[in-house]
Amino acid sequence: MKSIFEQLGGTYHEENGYLIPDLILPNEEEQPIGTWGQRHQDYLKQYHKVTYTNLLTSGRLNSYLAVIDRQAQERFERLIESMKQAQDITERLKEENAIEWTGKINNIRACAREIVNGEIIFI
């Protein structure tokens, strides 16, 4: 009598006396995934295991993470630019007082990172 897996076309191979299902993930075009996508992947693995597994086994994980990565990076860059304008942080300040400029830019980047994490990455 065949198992449901075999009835659906699945096959097994034997390892150390155990029958192991031959599972192959669907092919997916590999796209580069940056820090934002990797951070979201880690979040899914830890807090949304079903979603992560569904994306992985359907062959859509890489493309999904690539989209998240692009969206997060674009949002991050837009936030930085708007915050720089709102706080009047210019190239002139950079030339006149590089230390002050660096401190303000680092603060803006940290704020933008927290916003992107809350809006896109950790949801």
Q: What is the pTM of this model?
A: 0.78
DSSP letters of the chain?
A: ---HHHHTT--EEEETTEEEE---PPP-------HHHHHHHHHHHHH-HHHHHHHHHTT-HHHHHHHHHHHHHHHHHHHHHHHHHHTT--HHHHHH-HHHHHHHHHHHHHHHHHHHIIIIIT-
Give buried/exposed letters for 16-55 (b at 16+ CB in 10 A, else e): eeeeeeeeeeeeeeeeebeebbebbbeebeeeeeeebeeb
pLDDT at residue 30, as a whole number: 84
Query: Each residue of 74-118: pLDDT tens digit?
Result: 999 999 999 999 999 999 999 999 999 999 999 999 999 999 999
Tell me the domain boundaries of the chain.
Answer: 28-121
Query: Each residue of 16-53: pLDDT tens digit?
Result: 999 888 877 667 778 899 999 999 999 999 999 999 99
Q: Which among 46, 37, 105, 106 is positioned nearest to 72, based on CA atoms?
A: 37
